[in-house]
Amino acid sequence: MKTYLLKVFSITAFIFFISHSFAFGQVTDSVASGRNDAKTPETIEAEKKVNDLTFKAGVSFKQGLLNMQDNRRPQAGEDFNKSVETFLMSGVNVSRNPKLQNCYNQLIETIYRIEFPSNAQPPQIRSLSATCNWSWNENDYKLADAVAKLVLTAPTETAPANNLITSTSTVAANAPTQGFNEQKFEVSPLDELAKLELTPDEKQIENNPIAQQQYQYIQYAVSNKSLGFTFQVHPMIQQFVNYYQGRGRGTMETGLYRSGMFMRMARRIFREQGIPENVAWLGQVESAWKPQAMSWASASGLWQFIPGTGARFGLRKTAHVDERNSFEGATKASAQYLKFLANRYGGNWELAMAAYNSGEGNVDRAIRRAGVANFWVAYPYLPKETRNYVPNILATILIANNPNQYGFGHVRPAPQLMYDQIRVPASTNLSLLAQASDTTVEYLRYLNPELRTNMSPPEPYIIRIPPGKANEVVAVFRKFPKANLNTASITKTAAGENWQNLANRTGVSVEELQAANSGKTTPTGKVVVPQKNKVQTQDYTRSTSMVTPVGVRVVKAKSGDTVTKLAAREGVSAVELAKYNGLLPTSILPAGREIKVPSR
């Protein structure tokens, strides 16, 4: 994939977001009244804006704490999001004000520690209050301490000393709840693998002519090294083949189908790292090729890294990203870890795979007890899941390399997942990026499963967008090198439209439009529109006639409505409603504004 570079712009965001839900002490700077007289009106106004921002962020944050205390996690998540959005949607450049930046950064970190608790790094809520100068009383501090204690009441993930990648890590069954809302994770197949018991029929080889013939094929494939690496032939490999040809057929079919999306990438990266390409089929057993697979032990992604091992191989887990769920980065980390393990065990891939699952420590102990570095000899001393894990992968490799022989020739792999990659500025809102690439925020999140929010991290970051859109997106972004990315939107122009027409319908002056689209003599195609107060733009995706199309209802917004809130009330998609009216899902709607709602 090609990576396109964008000039890094300053950090700000879209629309002013107001929250008035909870009584909370107003923040004031400790400035003597006599000194206020010496300040210019501009300075006083700037200070007031800073105080208002931190105050409003504190209102939502405190409401989130109350909901956490009452075990209303989804509502708490919404409140915490509002607290962050107060900064992002204020139009203020947070990075240029030390007080705001410190408050914002610590707010992000604290919310993350509440959402994903760790005994090693508990949420520092009192410290956040001090940083943001929130005027808390004793009851507020008691609430903060109660929530800090609440999220740590259950044991958290305990990684073994060697930071293994596994779902057999020592993790308490009653581990604390993570995430505020229903997470977009899918169950890892490793969870079932740990409990899998082969039936007598699946274990039968000698009295099964087909299984006997297939077992001989395994011996032949290993002897002529046709799979790119060697391993010891064992009846249990054929027994897992029997399993997949019977009750496990659906699992194998799903994996073979989904492999088409990622296997070409995985083979390339494994080859570049000096790993036999067929070892990449390990990904099918780990995750069934689901980037958001999550095991009960919090191993995540295509390659099921726990946080400790992910960090060991360069995969970050922060409040903004969890790179264990990335495509290329996690695949490279997996190959590097497998290479390390293969070297550790003298090129023995069965032991390397076993260690990938249960960690070097477990495998080393099993080898010591067995007295020889041989997987099948050490087999009785390994965890149950690992005993299943290695023959399962070897069976998967055999089936994947000869699907016709094993009865899977009818499975057509899915098309390769295609995308372009561009480097975007720090804290770029995905909504703006979606407008520029003619897609939705939801699809961008699908292409970038490592992102934890609808914003890119606070640093230049490579983002995947729909294929063929990179040049167009870069061209749109480069039209306004002096504009603030996240205080602008993008609108499509109608044929023959001029700057004055565009100014009339957007509420932005001709001069501002031209400045934001430097080098563009006439408004054609996609045009950048700087946001001005609460005036919203309307994309020309249909006829410019003011006649309401057939099958469309017109409703009036109520006070306090956003596009998302109105969409929920009308039972339609917020994304579709926003696109239909040329708005953003986060757009604030003035009372009485007419909104077109497509028929359900």
Point out the residues that are catalytic.
286
Torsion angle (degrees, nearest 10) of CA 350, 352, 356, 357:
30
Least Cα distance to 283 among 298, 314, 305 occurs for 305
In contact, 321 and 430? CB cutoff 8 Å: no
CA atoms 364, 366, 369, 375: torsion sign: negative
Cα gap 225→219, rounded to integer Å:
10
Cα gap 598→596, rounded to integer Å:
7
Least Cα distance to 417 among 271, 276, 266 occurs for 266
Cα gap 23→194, rounded to integer Å:
51
Cα gap 493→48, rounded to integer Å:
38
- Amino acid, single-letter form, for residue 146: A
Strand bridging mode 186-187 / 293-294: parallel
Q: Which residue has the tokens 């899902």?
A: 585
Cα gap 1→468, rounded to integer Å:
11
- CB neighbours of 530 closer than 8 A, spacing ≥ 6? 483, 484, 487, 488, 508, 512, 513, 516
Give strand pairing partners of 596.
554
**What are 386's two structure tokens?**
């690992």
The continuous run of DSSP H or E covering 151 comes out as none
CA 70 to chain centre: 27
Least Cα distance to 161 among 360, 387, 415, 441 occurs for 360
In contact, 22 and 56? CB cutoff 8 Å: no
